[in-house]
Amino acid sequence: MIFNSEVRIKILALLYGMEYCEFSYLREKLKVSPGNLEHHLKILEKEGLVIIKKAITKKGIRTVVKITEKGKEEFKKFLGEILNLTNLEREDK
């Protein structure tokens, strides 16, 4: 169910590399509306794949999103399956 959404896949991909980032950065990179992003982040949080918290930054209080170990594992497994499928060979090739 988690990977039945291009936006959720891209959120996990970005966080997989960065560990954590600000809500606004996710919005900018993924070009999604705040409401849409919030909707998908809530689903990921409910599944234990990300943590959403308020943080004090140089620019004031910001919403920060961090990927969990479970989130990294699930994304790594998903991406691995996709890459493995692209490598399958037909017997008659």
- The mark string for 23-62 relative to a copy of itself (x by CB under 8 A, - otherwise) is ------x---------------------------------
Closest CA to 48 of 81, 75, 13, 17: 75
Identify each DSSP E strand in 1-93 by its residue range: 20-22, 50-57, 60-67
Which residue number, 1 or 61, has a Cβ lying nearer to a copy of itself? 1
Stretch that binds a copy of itself, among 4-12, 31-39, 40-48, 62-70 (CB under 8 A): 4-12
